[in-house]
Amino acid sequence: MVGLYEEPDKPSNAIDYIKKYLGQGGTTEYDLMKKENDEMKKQIKQLETQVGNMRRQLANEDEV
């Protein structure tokens, strides 16, 4: 941790710096969970769009 304080350019992400500093390479559980979270957020947006489209279709059918 002392190395972090001695860095002239402070890293923007402390977790990535610590992983690098401690020599942990490769894919970590954190990285896998972050990727899964990002994929789920995309899926949620797609589903919300789909729900909005279906609601508009129902509203149009009710008007006819």
Tokens 């789920």 correspond to what residue?
40
At 1 the pLDDT is: 52
Three-state DSSP at 46 gives helix
At 4 the pLDDT is: 55
Of the candidates 1, 34, 36, the one whose C-alpha atom is nearest the C-alpha of residue 18 is: 1
At 62 the pLDDT is: 83
Rg, Å, the chain Cα set:
22
- Convert the pLDDT of each residue in 22-34 to its tens digit: 766 566 778 889 9
- Convert the pLDDT of each residue in 7-18 to its tens digit: 667 667 778 777
Cα angle 36, 53, 62 (rounded to 5 degrees) comes to: 150
- Provide the residue count of the chain: 64
